[in-house]
Amino acid sequence: MARRLLDFFQGIGAIERLLGKLSLRGAYIDYWTCVHFGSGLVLGCLAAQQGLSLAQGFGLAAALLLLWELIEPPLHRLLGREFPEKITNQVVDILIGLVGFGIGFGFVRPEELVILLLDILDFLSR
């Protein structure tokens, strides 16, 4: 058991190093990418729960993810902050969100997804 935990945390370190190399100061992937993936998961789960077809749910999720990326820069300016993301990062965020949607659409039950996300957040906060 201790060996598995050690392997897991070494894997996390390797992932963080990889993300650091890929990030190029946020050019492609940053830590907010996980949030976009989670948003897509929730949207997919809710779309399936509401009985939307895959095409309807995908279209709605794509529109919402794109809308967020469009309003995010002006929102930063409104709050007096610099917007750090590059366009490549915004495109990746939308694509990652859509991948999350596809996975979430398969969950069907939002409560399963909520429990999974809460467990992940609980683990990360330790």
Convert 30-98 into a string of H (helix), E (strand) and C (coil): CCHHHHHHHHHHHHHHHHHHCCCCHHHHHHHHHHHHHHHHHHHHHHHHHCCCCCCCCHHHHHHHHHHHH
Tens of pLDDT along 68-93? 999 999 988 888 888 878 888 888 89
How many other CB atoms are found less than 10 A from the CB of residue 126? 4
Which has the closest alpha carbon to 24: 105, 85, 103, 101?
Answer: 85
pTM of the shown model: 0.66
Higher pLDDT, 106 or 6: 106
Write down the domain spans for the chain.
26-124
- Between CA 35 and CA 41 the distance in angstroms is 10
